[in-house]
Amino acid sequence: MTLRQALGEAARRLAAGGVERPRLEAEVLLSWACDLTRPRLLARLEERLVPAAAARFWPAIDRRAAGYPLQYLTGHQEFMSLDFKVTPAVLIPRQDTEVVVEAVLERLDPGGSYTIADCGTGSGAIALSLAHYLPRARVYATDISPAALAVARENARKLGLAARVALYQGDFLAPLRGLKLDVLVSNPPYIPTAALPVLPVDVRSEPRLALDGGPDGLDAYRLLLPGAAGLLRPGGLLALEIGFDQGQAVKDLARAVGAYRNEQILPDNAGRDRCFLAYRREE
């Protein structure tokens, strides 16, 4: 079988499994199986699919057709133009979360010195992206999962950021006691518990700990909003990813704390609620 024939058969299997972009994902998985870039793969389509690559490719195609996430198969995901390792221990970084990172970067001086914390860091995508684009920042990242922190630590080494990103195990804010922060950012779990069983099958493969936001999806915000007020310097920035219908509820929770000003909701590229921003009131 040639690489061209393998792509055609793989795309057929993926389409039958309900994958939205079967040809593209077939190319991604065949590139991974053959250890080639996609452009190099597409330039060699008349070559034969060698047995070693076939042994990786076809099981991966079958798993993807059954709903297993593409990123867990390849072990990689791009985020903020950086390459991140991902495993089933971490949430897969998404373009929606880039809205949060970009909102923070837009409000900071790229040459400024900042103390930043990312709570529930997972793969480290938010923390490491901020450290990459703010070269004078010191970043603290927390996660309750040792397995997630191992992935974040590997990403920090790979991106050359280990010296400026400190990783701590603990629940959200607990490892940050005693710090004074200029920025606190988080993509917490915000899916209501009852909605988890009806999520797309690939999303259900991701860590429940990173998805389950409690009965109404707001448990993490009830912890983060008052806790962040005690860690942020006056004028410090709080940036939280939120669910598509949670903007007003999170804004109301923040106002009830009474420690913030300029609360606002930013949309994602589809126009849905995605990012909550607020500043710590000056004393």
Residue 113 has what pLDDT?
97
170 is in an annotated binding site: no
Q: Which residue, among 34, 16, 187, has the nearest Cα to 97 in the 3D structure?
A: 187
Q: Is 122 annotated as a binding residue?
A: yes
Query: What pLDDT, on the 0 to 100 scale, is given for residue 247?
Result: 96
Domain layout of the chain by residue ranges: 3-66, 78-280
User: Is 59 one of the annotated binding-site residues?
Assistant: no
Instruction: Name the amino acid, one letter, at 18.
Output: G
123 is in an annotated binding site: yes
121 is known to lie in a ligand binding site = yes
Is 155 annotated in a binding site? The answer is no
Q: Does the annotation list 143 as a binding residue?
A: yes
Q: Is 271 annotated as a binding residue?
A: no
Give the start-end residues of each E strand in the chain: 76-79, 82-85, 115-119, 138-143, 165-169, 181-186, 232-241, 260-267, 273-280
Query: Does 187 carry a binding-site annotation?
Result: yes
Fill in the DSSP letter of residue 205. G
The C-alpha atoms of residue 201 and residue 181 are separated, in whole angstroms, by: 38
Burial of 128 (0-12, 13-18, 19+ CB in 10 A): buried
Give the CATH number of domain 78-280; options: 3.40.50.150, 3.40.50.620, 1.10.10.60, 3.30.565.10: 3.40.50.150
Q: Is 190 labelled as part of a ligand binding site?
A: yes
- Annotated binding residue at 124? yes
Contact assessment for residue 60 and residue 14, using Cβ atoms and an 8 Å cutoff: no
Identify the three-state secondary structure at position 172: coil
Consecutive sets of 10 residues in the chain, 283 residues long: mean pLDDT of each? 97 97 98 96 97 98 97 97 98 97 98 97 98 98 98 98 97 94 98 96 95 98 97 98 96 97 95 97 85
pTM metric for this prediction: 0.94
